[in-house]
Homo-oligomer: A and B are copies of this chain.
Amino acid sequence: MTDTSNTSEGHPTFSVVGRSMPQLDAVAKATGGAKYTADLKIPGMLYAKVLRSPLPHARILKIDIGEAERLPGVKAVICHKNVPRVAYNSYYREPIDEERLPADEYIFDEKVRYVGDKVAALAATSLDIAEEALELIQVEYEELPFVLDPLEALKPDAPRIHEVENNLVREVKWDVGNIEEGFAEADYIFENTYRTQMQQHVPLEPHCCIAEFDINGELHIISSTQGTFNVRVLLGKILNMPLSKIRVTRPHIGGAFGGKNDLFDEILCALLAMKAKRPVRLVNTREEEFSSTRVRHCHIIDLKYGVKKDGTLVARQMKAILNTGAYTAAGGKVTLTTGHRWIMLYRTPHVRYEGKCIYCNTPVASAMRGFGTPQQSFATESMIDEIAEKLGIDPVEIRLKNHRRLGDFDPISKITLGSVGIPECLKKGAEAMGWTKKRKVEKGKGRYRRGVGVALGTHNTGVKPFVNELSSAFIKVNEDGSINLLTGVVDLGQGSDTVLAQIAAEVLGVSVEDISVVDPGDTGSTPYDMGTHSSRQTYLGGMAVKMAAEEAKAQLLDEAAKRLETRPEDLEMKDRKIFVKGSPSTSISLADVAVGLIHGQVTHQVMGRGSFSPVTNAPPFEIHFAEVEVDTVTGAVKVIKFVAAHDLGKVINPLLSEGQVHGGVHMGIGYAFWEGLQIDPKTGHYLNPNLIDYKVASAVDMPPIDIILVESHEPTGPYGAKGLGEPAMVPTAAAIANAIYDAIGIRFRQLPITRQKVLEALRKQKA
């Protein structure tokens, strides 16, 4: 049901853009031929293991690595005593933007701050030896009081995790209008508190990396990372090496979802490789994935909304507490974006946001799909429904009344909205769900009760203005007219390579098969890209590729114009030909021009460059409709139908766009019902750090999904495109919570909405 027509009046017709095609590496991945980091073996490679803290908060009084070092086969052991003490922030790419994030991480520190924190690392000739050696490292800890709850952590007498008052990493306060006036103007005031849990990314491929110093002292890193250039700049800073001497390569990547955005243990691998003078590989166990990589911030969100009788929002206030875990990582930024996306979505004259980012002795929270938005979306889109119900307004109507319009000014990021497809999304989505009819149906009193819910969402494309942005691309045309595309964009599995090839093919009038994305990309040969995050790559990477292709095209047209004795501006490129506009028979093949340029009398390598730094964050919009069926006997809730309507500006590849939506809804369903890392309050240990006890949605949990792709044409994007990856999961949980309310009249304000919680609530309701 995708709406990708591009031939309607006033729209140009495209050859490649807008066409569904599988990912370029689909066969490689489907057949197992694609190589991931853990598939690679470098001659002489050692196997690394990390000793991780068994305590949530402790000082290391003594550490003895001697016995481990002496175990035959062990080639290097590092701990805080034999590595430099350099402070860094694993998310923060110094020197980036005006606003610095706390550099509170060290390679190793004398303190450990959560269960799973790094204590030591070693490299040995086999994994068995490495594991055996880990047990030979003797550590004497002084246990310190710990705190797992951000509200507790804020108290004056709470354990101090870093040298920061009240464990407060960052406080953000924004006021738009005058919130007190707003509440005074309101007919109704609504106040509620919502809570979300600690979700983990659960990529199929765990974090892993290989480090090797070559004979010239250059450092080569192969890593399952979202940002090769981010790894490079952080390693450069910590190791004090010029960036040109560090080369970070990414092979195929088996999912990331934000969890591979920060610098990971590449630094440990590099130091072990330096010490052992051999290549070193480190692969996380699944348990380490849960404990020692990254999680989603769990939020406590207090909302206070003032509305007019007709449903017009006049005042919105959010006070959000974010648990960023033991280190800041992206916490400071997530505190910003939590508020920003919320303010941005609805028109409201008076708004106040207060966000507080707090240290706790829990795993490090950083970037995860949505970057603070799914949390607030659950809260605020539940709140909108609570208001709508009170006022007797249809949930779709109240959203239609208040949402941002084209041309609205976003007071926080100071941008004017250039594309807003919300009305079309709401209209088409409601139709597809059969909304009006299903809402009117009297909810039964039987065992199985159905309901429908909606939630509106937004996110952003790229991180402007919270971080500066840059993507770049380089294109060269070969002597047979085939094309190599070099991009620093990291394809995490979402298919960005394919989409970028489509964009290049469209500009150059060739087929995607004529474009080879030079793979695997590495920081030595590709131009700079800030990494794959913030739903940015079709937009930013795509625009850089489009610019590079256009620069290459201009050179080809210049040459063709000489041959065809015309002017470049009178020429067009299509089907591997360059022809005079309106006279397709007067043409020359791309191959002829290319070979002429490389091997002709006047030789010239066609090279096109693109560097794109946007002025906006081009917000995408999305509406999710969920229909659920609650089993009132077991408490189980099943999503039986789902409609996802997405305004992504322009659909470059419908198949891959739908894939993104499927993945997002899947992750949103897990977020709604099951996911969440549980911590024993007595020990700080994790109760479910494995895929038996931590349930993610599986195929049988998935409803049929109607996907509606709305093309609002973002004027700053390539062919009008903007982001999709993160939006795909932003409103899912809220839509489900609202549908559950519709089904059984119970409002859940805390995620996940587990079977136990539903049963308990039904029992209370009955009583």
Residues of A whose CB lies within 8 Å of any CB of B are 24-25, 27-28, 31, 33-34, 41, 43, 93, 95-97, 214-216, 218, 233, 236, 242-245, 247, 468-470, 472, 474, 476, 478-480, 482-484, 486, 513-516, 518, 524-528, 595, 598-605, 607, 609, 611, 613
Tell me whether A524 and B518 are in contact (CB under 8 A). yes
Residues of B within 8 A of A609 (CB): 605, 607, 609
Q: Mostly helix, strand, loop or mixed at chain A's interface?
A: loop
How long is the Cα–Cα vector from A479 to B609 in the complex, in angstroms? 17
Residues of B within 8 A of A528 (CB): 476, 478-479, 598, 605
Given that A233-B479, A472-B607 are contacting pairs, would A93 and B599 also be in contact in the complex, using a CB cutoff of 8 Å? yes
Tell me whether A216 and B518 are in contact (CB under 8 A). no
Tell me whether A599 and B243 are in contact (CB under 8 A). no
Tell me whether A599 and B524 are in contact (CB under 8 A). no
Query: What is the CB-to-nearest-CB distance from A192 to chain B, in angstroms, rounded to a whole number?
Result: 40
Tell me whether B607 and A613 are in contact (CB under 8 A). no
Pick from B43, B236, B479, B486: contact of A243, CB under 8 Å:
B479
The residue on B at minimum CB distance from A467 is B599
The residue on B at minimum CB distance from A600 is B468
How long is the Cα–Cα vector from A525 to B605 in the complex, in angstroms? 13
Query: What is the CB-to-nearest-CB distance from A245 to chain B, in angstroms, rounded to a whole number?
Result: 6
Interface centre among A34, A243, A602 (most CB of B within 10 A): A243
The residue on B at minimum CB distance from A217 is B27
Tell me whether B215 and A33 are in contact (CB under 8 A). yes
The residue on B at minimum CB distance from A32 is B215
Given that A468-B601, A598-B470, A599-B97 are contacting pairs, would A478 and B244 also be in contact in the complex, using a CB cutoff of 8 Å? yes
Tell me whether A516 and B524 are in contact (CB under 8 A). yes
Residues of B within 8 A of A603 (CB): 468-470, 611, 613
Tell me whether B483 and A34 are in contact (CB under 8 A). no
Pick from B25, B43, B243: contact of A482, CB under 8 Å:
B243
The residue on B at minimum CB distance from A242 is B482
Interface centre among A233, A524, A601 (most CB of B within 10 A): A524
Given that A33-B215, A470-B604, A527-B607 are contacting pairs, would A595 and B95 also be in contact in the complex, using a CB cutoff of 8 Å? yes
**11 more A-B residue pairs beyond the given contacts A24-B216, A470-B599, A484-B524, with a C-beta to C-beta distance below 8 A:** A27-B215, A27-B216, A34-B215, A41-B43, A95-B479, A95-B599, A233-B480, A243-B482, A524-B525, A528-B598, A603-B611
Query: What is the CB-to-nearest-CB distance from A409 to chain B, in angstroms, rounded to a whole number?
Result: 20
Query: What is the CB-to-nearest-CB distance from A115 to chain B, in angstroms, rounded to a whole number?
Result: 35
How long is the Cα–Cα vector from A243 to B470 in the complex, in angstroms? 30
How long is the Cα–Cα vector from A602 to B31 in the complex, in angstroms? 44
How long is the Cα–Cα vector from A5 to B683 in the complex, in angstroms? 74
Residues of B within 8 A of A215 (CB): 25, 27-28, 31, 33-34
Pick from B43, B96, B476, B527: contact of A605, CB under 8 Å:
B527
How long is the Cα–Cα vector from A242 to B481 in the complex, in angstroms? 8
How long is the Cα–Cα vector from A28 to B218 in the complex, in angstroms? 11
Tell me whether B607 and A474 are in contact (CB under 8 A). yes
Query: What is the CB-to-nearest-CB distance from A596 to chain B, in angstroms, rounded to a whole number?
Result: 9
Tell me whether B607 and A482 are in contact (CB under 8 A). no
Tell me whether A244 and B516 are in contact (CB under 8 A). yes
Q: Rank and list the top 6 A-B pairs by shortest CB-CB distance, nearest first.
A: A33-B215, A244-B482, A525-B525, A244-B516, A472-B605, A603-B613
Residues of B within 8 A of A236 (CB): 480
Query: What is the CB-to-nearest-CB distance from A175 to chain B, in angstroms, rounded to a whole number?
Result: 25
Query: What is the CB-to-nearest-CB distance from A227 to chain B, in angstroms, rounded to a whole number?
Result: 13
Tell me whether A476 and B598 are in contact (CB under 8 A). no
